Amino acid sequence: MKAFISVDLEGMPYIVAPSQLNLKRVLYEEARKIATKTTLIVADELHKNGFEEVLVADSHGPMVNLHVEDLPEYIEVIRGFPRPLSMVAGIEGCDAAIFLGYHAKFGTAKSTFDHTYSGGSIRKVEVNGVEVSEFLLNAYVAGELGVPPIMVAGEAQLLRDDVEKWAPWVETVALKSSLSRVAARSPSMAKIEKELREAAKRAASKLKAKKAKLLIAKKPVDMRVAFLVSHFADVAELLPTAKRVDGLTVEYTAKDMTEAYKTFELLVLAASGVSSFITEQM
């Protein structure tokens, strides 16, 4: 069997300061170590429970966060951005999906670094009328490609809001419970490792017992994207398939989730481009 692990940073334990999330900031190295250790714990337990291969998608920011020295032979890593299917690049052909370090969607109260895909441009994303977090957005893509989610470890509010609601069969581990957007309470790493290993073992067992399910979005897929500022929507509206809904929002219809996701990626990149252009003129 082959496992796919998508790794984000904001939902990792002990990550509470903006300086931990940017490769140019002083505490970034600490976050890298935490994320790498968390990922290797889960990969090791999956390997012990029947997964001969583990594909890890480094999926935060520029997507070059994890330490890759001395990886075990059974692990492959996808790094770099932009890339097709972004946080779930390479998931095709895998047997199960695991999401580590994931966080709640934009606007969630008292949840560390709440955002949806791009904290600098996106306010809300809806798939067929359902507001999605990054977990749900990525799980829909995985489901369309025949890969069931079996485990999510991250910020506690995400687990309560989205994972338990939309994928109750998924094994979960709360890596931290937030006190505010920039403060959280986390268990010791020893306790986290124990819980991660137990969850990974149960997840593998459920998959073998055929208790894992696919999350599949109805086709065609109706997407609605609300931006943080109106000039991002101005640019998004240039896409021939996009329709302007209001000052911040566009909507479009895609034939399937993969197409919807790639189009969304393009809109985020367009917003980033216009943001840089405007900033340079100030």
Which of 3.40.1190.20, 1.10.10.350, 3.40.50.10320, 3.40.50.10780 is the CATH number of 2-116+133-208? 3.40.50.10780
Domain boundaries, the chain: 2-116+133-208, 221-280
Segment (H or E) for 157:
helix 156-158
Q: Minimal CA–CA distance to 70: which of 94, 96, 37?
A: 37
Q: What tens digit of pLDDT does each residue of 207-253 get?
A: 999 999 999 999 999 999 999 999 999 999 999 999 999 999 999 99
Q: Which of 60, 67, 115, 231 is catalytic?
A: 115
CB 249 within 8 A of CB 121: no
Please report the pLDDT score of residue 32 as a whole number. Answer: 97
Q: What tens digit of pLDDT does each residue of 48-69 get?
A: 999 999 999 999 999 999 999 9
The question of whether 115 is a catalytic residue gets the answer yes
